[in-house]
A and B are shown apart, each in its own frame.
Chain A
Amino acid sequence: DAGVIQSPRHEVTEMGQEVTLRCKPISGHNSLFWYRQTMMRGLELLIYFNNNVPIDDSGMPEDRFSAKMPNASFSTLKIQPSEPRDSAVYFCASSFSGTSGLTYEQYFGPGTRLTVT
């Protein structure tokens, strides 16, 4: 398996521009997570989906951030308009979650390093 795939790996954009980050989870996984990592705040959970449905978006910083998961193999995180304080590494992770009570680990993608100037 190719693992979690994220694109682009690096993104440099100007303040005010729209940014779209993409994620392809591991096939068969039904939970998907978007994280942001910065030196100041560490690793923060932004939003997560279960079976393509957003379960908890309480970590989304503000209305400029939105995420979608139109199908089981694709998700996007969009920032519009972007600001310099959005500069961070954004990770996507996926896992399998079921009703059996078993807890499975999350697998992380390589991340997208976003720089907003």
Chain B
Amino acid sequence: AQSVAQPEDQVNVAEGNPLTVKCTYSVSGNPYLFWYVQYPNRGLQFLLKYITGDNLVKGSYGFEAEFNKSQTSFHLKKPSALVSDSALYFCAVRVGSSNTGKLIFGQGTTLQVKP
């Protein structure tokens, strides 16, 4: 079965420290992977995606993610966390054919950045 998992419900990090939010996936074929962020009382916002090419993908707000095929992982990273990065983060993987674009989402990880 195709799935995506975020093993941590919450990640706590101090401002200025590097952060990592973990994501693993299980799909048939080539994975197309996404990260989204959700601030309180808002819709999800697209951060970045991996389709093909370089394993290190750069996205919005200084975030990046590393695709690791052997470990079936797509961890979200940022070198220096900001308090304003505190939010709910979702990893997603495309399933089905490319002309429909259906995604399945992980359960989300709450990132708490403390001053």
Closest A residue to B108 by CB, please name it. Answer: A42
Binds A, one of B20-28, B63-71, B74-82, B92-100: B92-100
Closest B residue to A103 by CB, please name it. Answer: B32
Given the known interface contacts A43-B108, A105-B49, the answer about A98 and B99 at a Cβ–Cβ threshold of 8 Å is: yes
Inside 8 A of B94's CB, which chain A residues have their CB?
A: 103
Q: Are A108 and B44 in contact (CB under 8 A)?
A: yes
Q: Are B51 and A110 in contact (CB under 8 A)?
A: no
Q: Are B98 and A101 in contact (CB under 8 A)?
A: yes
Given the known interface contacts A43-B105, A43-B108, A103-B49, the answer about A108 and B98 at a Cβ–Cβ threshold of 8 Å is: no
Inside 8 A of A91's CB, which chain B residues have their CB?
A: 43-44
Residue among A43, A97, A98 with the highest chain B CB neighbour number at 10 A: A43
Selected from A42, A95, A109, A110, the residue in CB contact (under 8 A) with B101 is A95
Selected from A50, A104, A110, the residue in CB contact (under 8 A) with B42 is A110
Asked whether B55 is an interface residue with its Cβ less than 8 Å from the other chain, the reply is no
Residue among B34, B42, B98, B104 with the highest chain A CB neighbour number at 10 A: B98
Closest A residue to B47 by CB, please name it. Answer: A105
Selected from B45, B96, B101, B102, the residue in CB contact (under 8 A) with A104 is B101
Chain A 76-117 against B: per-residue CB contact (8 Å), 1 yes, 0 no? 000000000000000101010111111111111111000000
Q: Which B positions have Cβ atoms within 8 angstroms of A?
A: 32, 34, 36, 42-46, 49, 51, 90, 94, 96, 98-105, 107-108
Q: Which A positions have Cβ atoms within 8 angstroms of B?
A: 4, 31, 33, 42-43, 45, 48, 50, 55-56, 91, 93, 95, 97-111
Taking A45-B104, A108-B43 as known contacts, 18 extra A-B pairs with beta carbons closer than 8 A to each other, sorted by chain A number, are A42-B105, A43-B44, A45-B102, A55-B102, A91-B43, A93-B43, A97-B99, A97-B100, A99-B98, A101-B98, A102-B98, A103-B49, A103-B98, A106-B103, A107-B46, A108-B45, A110-B42, A111-B43
